[in-house]
Amino acid sequence: ETGVTQSPTHLIKTRGQQVTLRCSSQSGHNTVSWYQQALGQGPQFIFQYYREEENGRGNFPPRFSGLQFPNYSSELNVNALELDDSALYLCASSPGGQAGYNEQFFGPGTRLTVL
């Protein structure tokens, strides 16, 4: 069973640029959640996708957007990058649709540095 994978591993961008991060969910999982983990902080929820529809969003501006594809992989797009966007971006997949049970399996993350 393949776990959650993310690409790229590391990324350096300059302020104002746009970035796309990618996530492949674990086999059999239809739900993908994205988190931002700043240095020394816990992960913060950005948004979640369930069967290609956004299913909840955290306190992040609209320049953070996402997609989920029919194979349940997902993208996180960030426009107009700011220095504070520098962080580890985590993707987590879960089986979804099962009331009372929702273990999220995390990928290794993408380290984004904005200069």
Alpha-carbon span 92 to 58, nearest angstrom: 15
For other proteins, the binding residues (CB under 8 A) are: 4, 31, 33, 35, 40-45, 48, 50, 55-56, 58, 90, 92, 94, 96-109
Are the C-beta atoms of 87 and 36 separated by less than 8 Å? yes
**Least Å from the CB of residue 17 to other proteins:** 26
Hey, what's the torsion of the CAs at 76, 78, 79, 81, to 10 degrees? -160
- In the complex with other proteins, the residue whose CB is nearer, 22 or 108, is 108
The single-letter code of the amino acid at 8 is P
Among residues 90, 85, 86, 67, which one has the least CA distance to residue 77?
A: 67
**Least Å from the CB of residue 56 to other proteins:** 5
- In the complex with other proteins, the residue whose CB is nearer, 42 or 62, is 42
**Least Å from the CB of residue 33 to other proteins:** 7
- In the complex with other proteins, the residue whose CB is nearer, 26 or 81, is 26
Q: Length of the chain in residues, anyone?
A: 115
**Least Å from the CB of residue 55 to other proteins:** 8
- In the complex with other proteins, the residue whose CB is nearer, 72 or 81, is 72
Tokens representing 62 are 């609209």
